[in-house]
């Protein structure tokens, strides 16, 4: 593949090209095959991490090319805005989209760099210095991870043909060994790089990387979905039940014993309050060892007998003393007529 003539042509179509970028591309022209091999290795590594999931393939391919150029040169691409513009115009998308993919790949390489024993753990805060540092370790990181992957493939092949392997695991070995056709190395990536799917790669990749996935840059779907019982219970709840369940949660379900109290009071305050309550006998209730339960209960009759009556209690009111009944009965309105005169 004539990579650099095409790249020169696309960059030249944008107008004046910065001399730094022209010099950078000319220096890498004799090593074009090495750049392509590095791109292929890096693409297989991030494919096993599902870094390309949900992203536009042309933008990821452009980002891989830029990172590989930096890795082969050992320094960042000068004037990257011009190269981003040329690639975005040729393959679609925006410069920002390609740049975001470049940042994701660089962060993955930062995570992988921690596994190299000869590299330091200090990461510069300045973005330019960080990009320079990452570009110096791209080749080492990619080759290191690719060698680890090759050793795992060899271990799977050895387990496949070993007589000590149980016959019940033949199916699993078949699925795992089929990943050898898509191993991420330039040594055997020419013939069978795209023969198996990403699901089998994920199966072999379990336990391959300590942290599982790079920090927060990859979205990996759950390998085991919810059970039918959980789905049935979730669908059977009405909207009111869901709101009630989310709002009416007891403190006992959220906090352990003494945890909520520890958030509001310090331990000395808790002990002081507990001792005070013990003195006031607030923790004491009806003793379980009481033989006569009636002694522990309050009798309503005893309460009424011992209570002091009010001062006017015992004087019966006579309603008839208020006003004599009208001789004409309840239909007499003279009382109201007198008030109107």
Sign, CA torsion 160/165/170/176: negative
**Higher pLDDT among residues 86 and 209, named by residue:** 86
Q: Contact 34/4 with Cβ under 8 angstroms?
A: no
For residue 248, what pLDDT band results from cuts at 50, 70 and 90? low
For residues 178-205, average pLDDT:
42
Range with lowest mean pLDDT among 41-55, 83-97, 131-145: 41-55
The larger pLDDT score, comparing residue 2 to residue 134, is at: 134
Average pLDDT, the chain: 66
Please tell me which residue, 283 or 247, carries the higher pLDDT value: 247
111-169 pLDDT, tens digit each: 888 777 666 666 666 677 777 877 888 888 888 887 777 777 666 655 555 444 444 44
Nearest to 155 by CA among 130, 175, 137, 180: 180
Q: For 213-230, how does the pLDDT look when each residue is reduced to its tens digit (9 = 90+)?
A: 443 334 444 444 556 666
Tokens describing residue 189? 């990536």
| Unique residue bearing structure tokens 């080492």 | 140
Query: How many other C-beta atoms are found inside a 10 Å radius of the C-beta of residue 186?
Result: 17
Q: CA 202, 35, 203 angle in degrees (round to 5)?
A: 5
Q: Are 48 and 205 in contact (CB under 8 A)?
A: yes
How remote is the C-alpha of 140 from its chain's centroid?
A: 30
% pLDDT > 70, the chain: 43
Spatial contact of 185 and 40, defined as CB atoms under 8 Å apart: no
């Amino acid at each position: 593949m004539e990579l650099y003539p095409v790249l020169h042509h696309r960059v030249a179509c944008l107008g004046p090209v910065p001399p730094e970028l022209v010099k950078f591309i000319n220096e890498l022209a004799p090593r074009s095959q090495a750049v392509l091999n590095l791109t292929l290795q890096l693409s297989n590594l991030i494919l096993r991490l599902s870094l390309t999931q949900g992203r536009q393939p042309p933008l990821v391919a452009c980002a891989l090319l830029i990172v590989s150029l930096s890795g082969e040169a050992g320094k960042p691409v000068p004037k990257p805005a011009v190269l981003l513009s040329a690639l975005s115009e040729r393959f679609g998308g925006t410069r920002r989209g390609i740049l975001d993919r470049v940042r994701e790949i660089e962060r993955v390489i930062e995570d992988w760099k921690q596994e190299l024993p000869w590299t330091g753990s200090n990461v510069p805060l300045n973005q330019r210095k960080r990009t320079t540092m990452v570009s110096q370790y791209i080749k080492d990181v990619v080759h290191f991870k690719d060698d680890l992957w090759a050793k795992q493939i060899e271990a799977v092949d050895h387990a496949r043909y070993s007589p000590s392997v149980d016959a019940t695991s033949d199916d699993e070995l078949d699925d795992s060994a089929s990943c050898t056709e898509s191993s991420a190395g330039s040594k055997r990536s020419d013939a069978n790089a795209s023969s198996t799917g990403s699901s089998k790669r994920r199966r072999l990749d379990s336990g391959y990387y300590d942290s599982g996935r790079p920090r927060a840059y990859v979205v990996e779907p759950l390998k085991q979905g919810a059970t039918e019982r959980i789905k049935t219970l979730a669908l059977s709840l009405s909207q009111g039940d869901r709101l009630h369940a989310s709002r009416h949660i007891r403190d006992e379900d959220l906090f352990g014993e003494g945890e909520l109290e520890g958030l509001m009071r310090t331990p000395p305050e808790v002990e002081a309050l507990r001792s005070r309550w013990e003195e006031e006998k607030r923790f004491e209730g009806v003793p379980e060892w009481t033989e006569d339960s009636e002694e522990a209960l309050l009798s309503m009759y005893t309460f009424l007998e011992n209570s002091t009556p009010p001062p006017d209690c015992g004087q019966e009111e006579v309603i008839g003393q208020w006003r004599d009944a009208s001789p004409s009965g309840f239909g007499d309105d003279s009382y109201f007529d007198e008030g109107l005169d």
